[in-house]
């Protein structure tokens, strides 16, 4: 399965069993990517524009410039998150 197919599979709300080795491998890959991105977000200062860009990388979707986040922010996956317009995430949110 290609990564984009896997992400769409997850966004549809499908379960992933530990017995499904290929799906589990892709899940771990996405989780490590989310850890890397959130580590970058949470360990140094970023401008508003940079935070919007970082969330776009995390979610795999374009994030509206009206989005605002005060880090730190935590997630174990990221690709299943959809950010709408005028969304504010306060310090310490975990998805």
Domains of the chain: 3-94 (2.160.10.10)
Q: Are strands 88-89 and 68-69 parallel, antiparallel or unpaired?
A: parallel
pLDDT at 18: 79
pLDDT tens for 66-87 read: 999 999 999 999 998 999 999 9
Q: Collapse the DSSP code of 74 into the 3-class scheme (helix H, G, I; strand E, B; otherwise coil) and give the result.
A: strand
The number of C-alpha atoms within 13 Å of 9 and in the hemisphere containing its C-beta is 15
pLDDT tens for 3-44 read: 889 988 988 888 888 788 999 889 999 999 999 999 999 999
Helix (H) or strand (E) holding 7: helix 3-11
pLDDT bin (cut points 50, 70, 90) of residue 64 is very high
Identify which of 28, 70, 68 has the alpha carbon closest to the alpha carbon of residue 45.
Answer: 70
């Amino acid at each position: 399965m290609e990564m984009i197919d896997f992400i769409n599979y997850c966004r549809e709300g499908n379960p992933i069993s530990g017995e499904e080795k290929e799906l589990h491998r892709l899940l771990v890959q996405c989780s490590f990517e989310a850890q890397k991105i959130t580590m970058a977000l949470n360990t140094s200062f970023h401008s508003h524009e940079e935070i919007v860009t970082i969330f776009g990388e995390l979610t795999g979707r374009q994030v509206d410039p009206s989005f605002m986040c005060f880090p730190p922010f935590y997630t174990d996956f990221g690709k299943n998150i959809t950010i709408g317009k005028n969304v504010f995430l306060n310090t310490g949110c975990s998805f």
